[in-house]
Amino acid sequence: MVEAPQTDEGWFALHDFRTVDWDAWRDAPDRERRRAIEEGVAYLDAHEAVEDAEAGASAVFSVLGHKADFVVVHFRPTLDDISRAERQFERTALAAFTEQPTSYVSVTEVSGYVSDDYFEGNEEDIDAGLLRYIEGKLKPDIPEDTYMSFYPMSKRRGEEHNWYDLSFDERRDLMSTHGDTGRQYAGKIKQVIASSVGFDDYEWGVTLFGDDPTDIKDIVYEMRFDEVSSKYGEFGQFYVGRRFPPSDLGAFLAGDGVPTSEFGDESHHGAHAHGEGGHHGEGGDGHHHHDDGDGDHPHGDDGDEAADEDIRGQLEDLNIYAGKPHGEDVYATVLYSEADADELFEEVEGLRGNFDHYPTHVKTAVYEANERGRVAVVSIWETASAAETAAGFLSELPGIVERAGEGSGFGTMGMFYTVKSEHRGDFVEKFGTVGGLLEEMDGHFDTDLMVNVEDEDDMFIASQWRSQDDAMEFFRSDAFRDTVQWGRDVLADRPRHVFLA
């Protein structure tokens, strides 16, 4: 019997597609339409804020074409949660003007293609980045990218080509090759794969998010030439839409362009502290994971910008420098690699030469963890779009396994330090002391001291926390305050807190 890969399930997903009865909408009295909009906005606001469950994410997208007018996407911990979310919409006055032409029910999963140790219970042997990636796959956020594409898919069970007749090793090798194509779109496309075996008509539901719709087209097109798709892929209908904030529901129904503000455009790429994740792996037997996760603030059109200012304000209040490098509006992209630091540096040096031709390039360097085999590539640019473009090139470097800023939790890519050479040993020793305190703090996952391979006095500290509140509790502690005061004598410049592009 062919071996079936093990799976572990996470949050349930509902893609709730709706069409609008435009004739009824046009003929309705103004008071009925106002009530429908008010109750629709209230429903969407409440569910984007996840007021209906312990955890999850929701968002609304307009849909182009005849198949639907809009879709509400929900991720929730239980099947009952998404059932309740669906039924609560039917209680709104807006629901009376809509029909549900289709929907899709699924559950997020990771499979045995990702890690044998995970399914054998050897979590202590799994890289922390991979564990965060798995957490991000099982409990996905909805990134604030502008466009979304959804489609269901299955693996072929024909007489000539039957995916389920292949051995586990054959399937794993095919999925690995399939993923090589997906990795070329790191930083451009984010993806959520959820299994629908036993729940809906196909075997998986695939949701792609991106700021450029042609990137969505290109990745699906290129993957059609991989053997996984060309021989074994079967696809259902495709749906494409654009995200808009609940407050724009009235404008959407009026036929106006949405979003009416800058929601979803380059403003949401701004300086923002995210979690880390995005390890490249597979989603069940579905598509290879392209670039997971997303952003940490899906609720509303000003989430990222407000969060940035909130974090900056809190750090300023604590007398911690909260500006970006050089005191400018610059954007950092950080990718972690399993490759040897020297090998990676040779590749980065070549890319950096090309980057230097662009006036928006500030800095690109390789950093190595002080105490464990972890290597990071940091690239800093004056614009978010340039940083995103650079991420696409950098994702092709050897051994890239994750991109800081995509996944679950709260990550601080910050605290870049320039240490006085004579005090470098003192600084490293101090970090060891503080690191010991961090290990005992509730909500702290891990912290690394990363050192520039070209300049050992140039370092940054990357921390991963369960939430922003957990991180800020540490920043407000006496231990951290004492460390900041101590650092004034050993640093050549003020510490710079960097938010990710």
DSSP 327: G
CATH fold of 7-269 reads: Alpha-Beta Plaits (3.30.70)
Q: What pLDDT score does 480 carry?
A: 78
Q: What pLDDT score does 281 carry?
A: 34
For 157-210, write each residue's pLDDT tens digit. 888 898 989 988 888 888 877 777 777 887 789 999 999 999 999 999 999 999
Spans of all domains in the chain: 7-269, 303-498
Lowest mean pLDDT among 207-211, 231-235, 264-268, 488-492: 264-268
Would you please indicate which residues are annotated as catalytic (active-site) residues?
151
Query: How confident is the model over 202-228, as a mean pLDDT?
Result: 94
Q: What pLDDT score does 233 carry?
A: 94
Nearest-angstrom CA–CA distance, 380 and 457 = 18
For 139-152, write each residue's pLDDT tens digit. 999 988 789 999 99
Q: List CB contacts of 138: < 8 A, sequence separation 6 or more.
A: 8, 9, 10, 11, 108, 109, 110
Cα-flanking dihedrals φ and ψ of residue 161, to 5°?
A: -125, 110
Query: How confident is the model over 65-81, as a mean pLDDT?
Result: 97
Whether the full predicted model's pTM is greater than 0.75, yes or no, is no
Nearest-angstrom CA–CA distance, 259 and 59 = 13
Torsion (CA) 436, 441, 443, 448 in degrees, nearest 10: -20
Residue 324 or residue 195, greater confidence: 195
- Please, are residues 149 and 208 in contact by the beta-carbon 8 Å criterion? yes
Nearest-angstrom CA–CA distance, 147 and 356 = 31
Nearest-angstrom CA–CA distance, 5 and 221 = 27
CB atoms near residue 370 (< 10 Å): 17
- Please, are residues 33 and 250 in contact by the beta-carbon 8 Å criterion? no
Q: Compute the mean pLDDT over every residue in the chain, rounded to the nearest whole number.
A: 81
Q: What pLDDT score does 451 carry?
A: 93
Burial class, 84, CB count within 10 angstroms (exposed 0-12 / middle 13-18 / buried 19+) = middle
Lowest mean pLDDT among 197-201, 346-350, 376-380, 434-438: 434-438
For 119-137, write each residue's pLDDT tens digit. 777 666 677 767 777 888 8
Looking at the chain, the whole-number percentage of residues with pLDDT higher than 90 is: 40
Domain 303-498 = CATH 3.30.70.100 = yes
pLDDT at 257 over 60: yes
Do 303-498 and 7-269 have the same topology in CATH?
Answer: yes
Phi/psi zone of residue 187: left (φ > 0), alpha (ψ -120 to 50 degrees), beta?
left
The type of residue at 255 is G
Nearest-angstrom CA–CA distance, 364 and 399 = 17
Could you please report the per-residue DSSP string of 40-91? HHHHHHHHHTTTTSSS-EEEEEEE-SSS-SEEEEEEESSHHHHHHHHHHHHT
Tell me the two tokens of residue 300: 């509303």
Q: What pLDDT score does 367 carry?
A: 94
How sure is the predictor about 390, in pLDDT bands with cuts at 50, 70 and 90? confident
